[in-house]
Chain A
Amino acid sequence: MPFNIAVFVKPALNLNLLKIDSEGRVNIEETPLAISEYDKNAVEEAIRIKEKYGGKVSAFSILTWGPVQKRISDAEKIAREILSMGADEFHLVIDDNVVNVTTRETAIVACSLIKKIGSFDIYLAGEYSQDTTSSQFASRLATLLGIPVVTFVNKIEIQGEEAIVQRSTEYEIVTLRVKLPCVLSVTGEINQPRIPTLRQILQAKNKPLIKYDLKSLGIDLDRKNIKHEYLALQVKRKRIFIEGKSLEEIADKLIDKLLEEGVIKI
């Protein structure tokens, strides 16, 4: 039985290229974007379900980091990467009014977008985004859609109209049976995301990438007055490379340093 699968991908800040200004603030506007790590696992899982049972994978993104004009090409690049992996189409929301929103608004926009496009059997997302790690999108989306949700899923098996999923939390692994349609958030352990081949990258150029703004979705977003300030945690490290003619000499120097620092006792 083929499945219609929706997968959500966050264009997140690239944490390896975080820009910090002279006052110790994160310069969001100068920090490039990247696909949020675990969302790739969600895409991979969506493609695997499609490969096994047939169906279609529709990917969705909402650009929440500005400035919008500067980010469009980054967001499109992310979309093409997901399409190269094997998603069939990509729906991208770009609008100044969704910049710097909280997950409350992202889930509202996602829900409206879904309702405009159609309905799906399975909705997938990563367990949390790599930048803001709020870990609430899947549960919020399911609540707005009025369907069941299971978070932190590290195994999915489909049996007829149901998914049998393993949910992994701090202390336990719970196996649950949930009726479709449902929302599932997946962990980084569920699979190893594929790397697209050159042929797939070329093919992806012809797949549909559809852009929306809030007006075209008929959304009048009531934003709360919330101010966010992002301060870099700059821990100054000594970064001393201990070198020597032999490993013995290096070991001795290291032990001396640690004794000097008073962090070990011998």
Chain B
Amino acid sequence: MNSSIIVFSEEPKRIIYPLSFAYLLKSKLGENLVAITLDSEIKDEIINKGIDELVLIKKRALLDQYTTILKDEITNKNIKYIIGSSSNNDNDIISRIAAYLNIPLFTDVYQIEINNENLILTRKVFGGKAVSKISINKEEQIALTVSAKKLDIELKSKTKIRYIEELPVSNVTFEKVEKKALSGVDISQAEIVIGVGRGFKQKEDLKLAEELASLINAQIGCSRPVAADYKWLPEDRWIGISGKIIKPNLYFAIGISGAPQHIGGIQDSKIIVALDKEKSASIFNYADYCIVADLYQFLPVLINKIKERKTK
């Protein structure tokens, strides 16, 4: 029996990321490719492009229900790789499946290479301060979750579609869901980002950063406490390992001390400017231009200077 690659995402629009990794593996290793996701319009975009079988789940389910569905799909099959997206939900579900199959799982992989014998997987570790290169024999059964990246590989193959109508039982009871208030801005794509941190004493004071942002056409991001603890800004503004990883031309950190979790999210920036009143702040170790000053005094001066130059 031909061995298979199983691709899964509980969120249909995210399935393109694990799919593109699967296309790469399929094109080099010639595996059978089965994709499983929630039924949605995405099917029109992905059919007949490399997926041999597409399994569509008719109703949104709880994580353990998706897990049971996946278990049913893989039991008694010769599965080589299982790949999900690196969303919180997919990571969780794929972890359960990996434990069920007693196989290793590597989460948040952003690069995959195939050499003679081995797969080489790359993921960020140590709070973004290092990358881990993992090499494992390509015949080894493994699971992966992969972070947002689309590879330019196009395959053609006729896709057979099958539906799952009924959900298995769950061992948790759903009570309610609340959508998080998000800004809808993707700061990971911004060219200039201003990061605000605990140096700001109250939410109203963020106006200073917003005024500067509008003058230099920047997006506002923030450190973990500003989003997670104080809730001054929505969570999609949060820069760091558990928030967004940004890669702007200019990152301007204001009143941010520079916790490792934050530094991990800014290292791909071209130029980093840091403003903090403590000369010993660790952010200065990661900045190109450092200004030791009270932000409440410095920002109004900087804003005026930029305005002056604009009118000249």
Interface residues of A (CB under 8 A from B): 13, 15-16, 18, 26, 37, 102-104, 107, 127-128, 130-136, 138-144, 148-152, 164, 168-179, 188-189, 224-233, 235, 237-242, 247-248, 250-252, 254-255, 257-258, 261-266
Check B175–A175 contact: CB distance below 8 A.
yes
Does A255 contact B305, Cβ atoms closer than 8 Å? Answer: yes
Known A151-B92, A228-B134, A254-B289; judge A172-B172 contact (CB<8 A). no
Give the contacts of B254-269 with A (CB-CB under 8 A).
260-261, 267
Are B298 and A241 closer than 8 Å at their CB atoms?
no
Q: Which of B235-279 contact A (CB under 8 A)?
A: 235, 241-242, 249-250, 260-261, 267, 270-273
Secondary structure call for the B interface: mixed
Knowing that A131-B126, A134-B106, A251-B302 touch, tell me 13 more A-B residue pairs with CB under 8 angstroms.
A15-B260, A103-B95, A133-B124, A169-B87, A188-B228, A224-B104, A230-B132, A235-B267, A241-B290, A247-B301, A251-B304, A251-B305, A254-B302
A176 to B272, CA, bound (A): 42
Q: Which residues of B contact A (CB under 8 A)?
A: 62, 64, 87-89, 91-96, 98-100, 102-108, 124-137, 140, 171-180, 182, 192, 216-217, 224, 228-229, 235, 241-242, 249-250, 260-261, 267, 270-273, 282, 284-293, 297-298, 301-302, 304-306, 309-310
**Are the CB atoms of B298 and A263 closer together than 8 Å?**
no
Contacts of B174 in A (CB 8 A): 174-176
Contact yes or no, B104 A233, CB < 8 A: no
Q: Give complex CA distance A219, B228 in Å.
A: 41
Determine if A233 and B130 form an interchain contact, defined as CB atoms under 8 angstroms apart.
Answer: yes
24 pairs of residues in contact across A and B, judged by CB atoms under 8 Å = A107-B99, A133-B125, A139-B95, A143-B100, A164-B175, A169-B89, A171-B179, A172-B180, A175-B177, A176-B173, A176-B175, A225-B137, A227-B135, A228-B133, A230-B133, A231-B133, A232-B130, A233-B128, A237-B286, A251-B302, A254-B291, A258-B250, A258-B289, A264-B250
Most central of B124, B177, B224, B272 by chain A CB within 10 Å = B177
In the complex, what residues of A have CB within 8 A of residue B94's CB?
A: 136
A258: B residues at CB distance < 8 A: 250, 271, 273, 289
In whole angstroms, what is the CA distance A130 to B224 when docked? 15
A178 engages B171 (CB within 8 Å): yes
Q: Which residues of A contact B229 (CB under 8 A)?
A: 189
Are A26 and B126 within 8 A (Cβ)?
yes
A242 touches B132 (CB 8 A): no
> Are the C-beta atoms of B250 and A250 separated by less than 8 Å?
no
- Bound state CA distance, A230 and B133, in angstroms? 6
Q: How far is the CA of A132 from the CA of B124 in the complex (A)?
A: 8
Q: Which A residues touch B180, using CB under 8 A?
A: 168, 170-173
Q: Specify which chain B residues have a CB less than 8 angstroms from the CB of A139 in the assembled complex.
A: 91-93, 95-96, 99
Contacts of A262 in B (CB 8 A): 249
Of A141, A164, A254, A257, most B-chain CB atoms within 10 Å: A254
A266 touches B96 (CB 8 A): no
